[in-house]
Protein backbone atom coordinates (compact mmCIF):
# COMPACT_ATOMS: atom_id res chain seq x y z
CA UNK A 1 0.00 0.00 0.00
CA UNK A 2 1.35 3.41 -0.97
CA UNK A 3 0.66 4.90 2.45
CA UNK A 4 2.56 2.29 4.47
CA UNK A 5 4.72 4.06 7.04
CA UNK A 6 3.31 7.44 5.95
CA UNK A 7 1.25 9.81 8.06
CA UNK A 8 -0.90 11.86 5.72
CA UNK A 9 -1.62 14.45 8.40
CA UNK A 10 1.85 15.97 8.70
CA UNK A 11 2.30 19.48 7.32
CA UNK A 12 4.13 22.70 8.12
CA UNK A 13 1.61 25.53 8.01
CA UNK A 14 4.40 28.12 8.24
CA UNK A 15 5.64 27.00 4.82
CA UNK A 16 2.22 27.58 3.20
CA UNK A 17 1.04 30.76 1.48
CA UNK A 18 -1.45 33.07 3.20
CA UNK A 19 -4.84 31.35 3.03
CA UNK A 20 -6.90 33.90 4.97
CA UNK A 21 -8.73 35.26 1.93
CA UNK A 22 -9.38 31.93 0.21
CA UNK A 23 -12.87 30.57 -0.38
CA UNK A 24 -12.92 26.78 -0.47
CA UNK A 25 -15.74 24.38 -1.30
CA UNK A 26 -16.00 20.88 0.12
CA UNK A 27 -18.24 18.45 -1.77
CA UNK A 28 -18.83 15.37 0.36
CA UNK A 29 -20.25 12.00 -0.63
CA UNK A 30 -22.83 10.57 1.77
CA UNK A 31 -21.92 7.01 0.73
CA UNK A 32 -19.55 5.45 3.29
CA UNK A 33 -20.43 8.37 5.57
CA UNK A 34 -18.21 7.22 8.46
CA UNK A 35 -15.20 7.61 6.17
CA UNK A 36 -16.26 10.73 4.29
CA UNK A 37 -17.27 12.59 7.45
CA UNK A 38 -13.82 11.90 8.91
CA UNK A 39 -12.18 13.15 5.72
CA UNK A 40 -14.38 16.25 5.77
CA UNK A 41 -13.50 17.01 9.40
CA UNK A 42 -9.79 16.59 8.64
CA UNK A 43 -9.99 18.94 5.66
CA UNK A 44 -12.13 21.52 7.45
CA UNK A 45 -9.95 21.65 10.58
CA UNK A 46 -6.81 21.91 8.48
CA UNK A 47 -8.19 24.75 6.36
CA UNK A 48 -9.11 26.68 9.52
CA UNK A 49 -5.76 25.89 11.14
CA UNK A 50 -4.01 27.26 8.06
CA UNK A 51 -5.93 30.55 8.18
CA UNK A 52 -9.01 30.05 6.00
CA UNK A 53 -11.93 31.83 7.63
CA UNK A 54 -14.74 29.49 8.69
CA UNK A 55 -17.35 31.55 6.83
CA UNK A 56 -15.28 31.08 3.63
CA UNK A 57 -15.60 27.29 3.74
CA UNK A 58 -18.68 25.89 2.00
CA UNK A 59 -20.06 22.36 2.17
CA UNK A 60 -22.31 20.47 -0.21
CA UNK A 61 -23.43 16.88 0.33
CA UNK A 62 -24.02 14.55 -2.62
CA UNK A 63 -25.35 10.96 -2.57
CA UNK A 64 -22.21 9.13 -3.69
CA UNK A 65 -18.73 9.50 -5.14
CA UNK A 66 -20.01 9.41 -8.72
CA UNK A 67 -22.02 12.57 -7.95
CA UNK A 68 -18.94 14.47 -6.73
CA UNK A 69 -18.32 15.66 -10.28
CA UNK A 70 -21.70 17.33 -10.74
CA UNK A 71 -21.66 18.62 -7.16
CA UNK A 72 -18.26 20.23 -7.71
CA UNK A 73 -19.40 21.76 -10.99
CA UNK A 74 -22.58 23.15 -9.43
CA UNK A 75 -20.70 24.54 -6.44
CA UNK A 76 -18.25 26.35 -8.72
CA UNK A 77 -21.12 27.74 -10.76
CA UNK A 78 -23.01 28.99 -7.69
CA UNK A 79 -20.13 31.03 -6.28
CA UNK A 80 -16.58 32.11 -6.97
CA UNK A 81 -14.28 29.65 -5.22
CA UNK A 82 -10.52 29.43 -5.10
CA UNK A 83 -10.58 25.61 -4.88
CA UNK A 84 -12.94 22.68 -4.38
CA UNK A 85 -12.17 19.47 -2.52
CA UNK A 86 -14.14 16.43 -3.73
CA UNK A 87 -14.41 13.99 -0.80
CA UNK A 88 -15.50 10.40 -1.31
CA UNK A 89 -14.83 6.77 -0.47
CA UNK A 90 -15.23 3.78 -2.76
CA UNK A 91 -14.57 0.37 -1.25
CA UNK A 92 -14.03 -2.75 -3.34
CA UNK A 93 -17.00 -5.10 -3.41
CA UNK A 94 -17.68 -8.37 -5.16
CA UNK A 95 -18.37 -6.84 -8.60
CA UNK A 96 -16.55 -4.63 -11.09
CA UNK A 97 -18.74 -1.66 -10.07
CA UNK A 98 -15.78 -0.41 -7.98
CA UNK A 99 -13.56 -0.11 -11.06
CA UNK A 100 -16.15 1.78 -13.10
CA UNK A 101 -16.95 4.26 -10.31
CA UNK A 102 -13.29 4.90 -9.46
CA UNK A 103 -12.33 5.46 -13.08
CA UNK A 104 -15.33 7.68 -13.82
CA UNK A 105 -14.77 9.85 -10.75
CA UNK A 106 -11.05 10.26 -11.43
CA UNK A 107 -11.71 11.16 -15.08
CA UNK A 108 -14.56 13.52 -14.17
CA UNK A 109 -12.49 15.42 -11.63
CA UNK A 110 -9.60 15.55 -14.12
CA UNK A 111 -12.00 16.97 -16.71
CA UNK A 112 -13.10 19.71 -14.30
CA UNK A 113 -9.47 20.63 -13.70
CA UNK A 114 -8.81 20.85 -17.42
CA UNK A 115 -11.98 22.76 -18.31
CA UNK A 116 -12.14 25.31 -15.47
CA UNK A 117 -9.70 27.63 -13.73
CA UNK A 118 -10.74 26.39 -10.28
CA UNK A 119 -8.63 23.52 -8.94
CA UNK A 120 -10.66 20.49 -7.87
CA UNK A 121 -8.73 18.35 -5.40
CA UNK A 122 -9.20 14.58 -5.57
CA UNK A 123 -9.88 13.37 -2.02
CA UNK A 124 -11.53 10.08 -2.93
CA UNK A 125 -10.30 7.00 -1.14
CA UNK A 126 -10.32 3.90 -3.35
CA UNK A 127 -9.62 1.07 -0.95
CA UNK A 128 -9.88 -2.70 -0.96
CA UNK A 129 -11.32 -2.87 2.57
CA UNK A 130 -13.12 -0.73 5.12
CA UNK A 131 -10.06 -1.08 7.36
CA UNK A 132 -7.84 0.53 4.72
CA UNK A 133 -10.32 3.40 4.42
CA UNK A 134 -10.41 3.85 8.20
CA UNK A 135 -6.61 3.84 8.36
CA UNK A 136 -6.48 6.70 5.81
CA UNK A 137 -9.36 8.77 7.21
CA UNK A 138 -8.10 9.37 10.73
CA UNK A 139 -6.49 6.03 11.57
CA UNK A 140 -2.90 4.86 11.61
CA UNK A 141 -2.02 6.66 8.37
CA UNK A 142 -3.51 9.98 9.43
CA UNK A 143 -6.25 11.66 7.42
CA UNK A 144 -6.18 12.15 3.66
CA UNK A 145 -8.58 15.08 4.15
CA UNK A 146 -5.68 16.96 5.73
CA UNK A 147 -3.51 16.29 2.69
CA UNK A 148 -6.32 17.45 0.38
CA UNK A 149 -6.73 20.71 2.32
CA UNK A 150 -3.03 21.46 1.97
CA UNK A 151 -3.21 20.67 -1.76
CA UNK A 152 -6.22 23.02 -2.10
CA UNK A 153 -4.36 25.90 -0.44
CA UNK A 154 -1.27 25.34 -2.55
CA UNK A 155 -3.21 25.05 -5.82
CA UNK A 156 -5.45 28.03 -5.04
CA UNK A 157 -2.43 30.24 -4.48
CA UNK A 158 -0.33 29.23 -7.50
Side-chain-facing half-sphere of 64: CA atoms under 13 Å: 9
The predicted pLDDT at position 1 comes to 38
Contact (Cβ atoms closer than 8 angstroms) between residue 13 and residue 50: yes
- Summarize pLDDT for 122-146 with one digit per residue, the tens: 999 999 999 999 999 989 999 999 9
Specify the pLDDT at position 96. 79
**What pLDDT is stored for residue 98 in this prediction?**
83
Distances (CA, A) of 71 to 59, 66, 105: 10, 9, 12
Domain ranges across the chain: 21-156
pLDDT at 74: 97
| Predicted local confidence at residue 120, as pLDDT | 98
pTM of this structure = 0.93
Q: Residues with catalytic annotation?
A: 97
Rg (CA), the chain: 15
pLDDT at 8: 60
CATH code of domain 21-156: 3.40.50.960
Residues with pLDDT less than 70, the chain: 1-8
Is 111 in a helix, a strand, or coil? Answer: helix
Amino acid sequence: MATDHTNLSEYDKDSLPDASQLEIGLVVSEWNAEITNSLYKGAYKTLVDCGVWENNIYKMDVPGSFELIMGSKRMMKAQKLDAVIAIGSVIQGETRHFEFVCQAVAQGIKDLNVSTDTPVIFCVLTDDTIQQAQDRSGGKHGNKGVEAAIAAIRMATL
